[in-house]
Amino acid sequence: MPFWRTLIGLVAAALFAAGAAAQVAVPTPTPAGVGEDEVIKVTTQLVTIPVRVMDKSGRFISGLKQADFHILEDGKPQEIAYFLNEEESFTVVLMLDMSYSTKFKLGDIQKAALEFISQLRPQDKVAVVSFDNQVHVLAKPTTDRDEITTAIRSTRIATGTSLYDAVDTVMKSLSSSVEGRKAVILFSDGVDTTSRKSGLARNLEDATELDALVYPIRYDTFADVQSMRTKPTNGIYVAPVVPKGTKADPNRADIVINASGEQGTTLEDYSRATGFMQSLADRSGGRLYEATTLTGLSDAYARIAAELREFYSIGYYPTGERLVDRTTNVKVKVDRDGLVVRAREEFITRKKN
């Protein structure tokens, strides 16, 4: 954890005290010795894909039937075995970054999150997860709005940002215990500083397999972070970091920190964060939203809530065989002219130990 973040957290605490979802086909277990390039059968695994259909003006097309859709896997037609229309409910996981780097005040974050919950349908389940240097599961999936409200209002700003660990926790939970349509709403600047159990590469691999839509809401804190690093804090001057090269974090092979040990403060860190958030959206079939103001944050939540009411879910049992760790391409088509189909178009079959 960067020294300046820890110092700011301690100073803030002292002042406060003084003043106060296409489900990826998962292969069946393979015998020991099966190589990475060997063929595995996945015909018993249902693959589900969230699909949004629009006209050329971007307006959602409702009322489509199963017979209107066709699925191709690597160019080969597949039989649709599962279909849900846009009226079916979602399980939504709301992930809130509670690190000191956030540019929004705690009350603003909570208010916007509560407004978002109010725009979901009564039958939609919601889970609440916050993260700082630790991951906090504040509410498991429920339709009880009072429980959800209490969970959101219990969030507190703290030091550290274990973003990758939080994403890993949520993805594993969705894959193992939640059925039906799923979505993850991730509110963060995308910069990780304290994860130790997971990393960027693993998160993106898992997103390719996840049968949930991921909607990141990204805010840029780079200027704020630079200001905090150089600003006198309660009479104590926090020295700026002068980059003198880079070195690998020994605990996280996929993350690079600057030579001074101040992880999560450089332009490279923020560029990586933007790419990470965009890739989560692209690989899952979701969409990245930017929020530079409180109004923009509320607008992003509203757009996501509306879009979640505009998805069909289609599933099929693959008729072919696949190679481990090879990309499979999927194409969803609609039997109507002039319509645009948005759905994830590829996934990777992993070998499970």
pLDDT of residue 25: 37
Q: Would you call 4 helix, strand, or coil by DSSP?
A: helix
Neighbours of 63 (CB within 10 A): 7
Cα(211)–Cα(181) distance, rounded to whole angstroms? 8
Q: 12-56 pLDDT, tens per residue?
A: 444 334 444 333 333 333 333 333 444 444 445 778 888 889 998
Looking at domain 1-353, which CATH architecture does it have? 3-Layer(aba) Sandwich (3.40)
CA dist list (Å): 57 to 53, 54, 61, 281: 11, 8, 11, 22
CA dist list (Å): 61 to 53, 221, 284: 6, 37, 21
Residue 105 near residue 133 (C-beta atoms within 8 A)? no
Tokens (6 digits) for 236 = 């104590």
Tokens (6 digits) for 126 = 């919601």
Determine the Cα angle at 346 with ends 339 and 199, to 5°: 130
Burial of 351 (0-12, 13-18, 19+ CB in 10 A): middle
pLDDT of residue 37: 44
Residue 335 near residue 71 (C-beta atoms within 8 A)? no
pLDDT of residue 30: 36
How is 268-280 classified by DSSP, letter by letter?
HHHHHHHHHHHHH
Cα(129)–Cα(4) distance, rounded to whole angstroms? 25
Q: 261-320 pLDDT, tens per residue?
A: 356 668 888 889 999 999 999 888 899 999 989 999 999 999 999 989 888 888 888 887
- The residue ranges of the chain whose pLDDT is under 50 are 1-43, 233-261
β-bridge mates for residue 82, sequence order: 315
pLDDT of residue 227: 66
Conformation bin of residue 75: beta by default, left when phi > 0, alpha when psi is -120 to 50: left
pLDDT of residue 19: 41
pLDDT of residue 239: 36
Which runs of consecutive H residues, i.e. helices, occur in 50-102? none
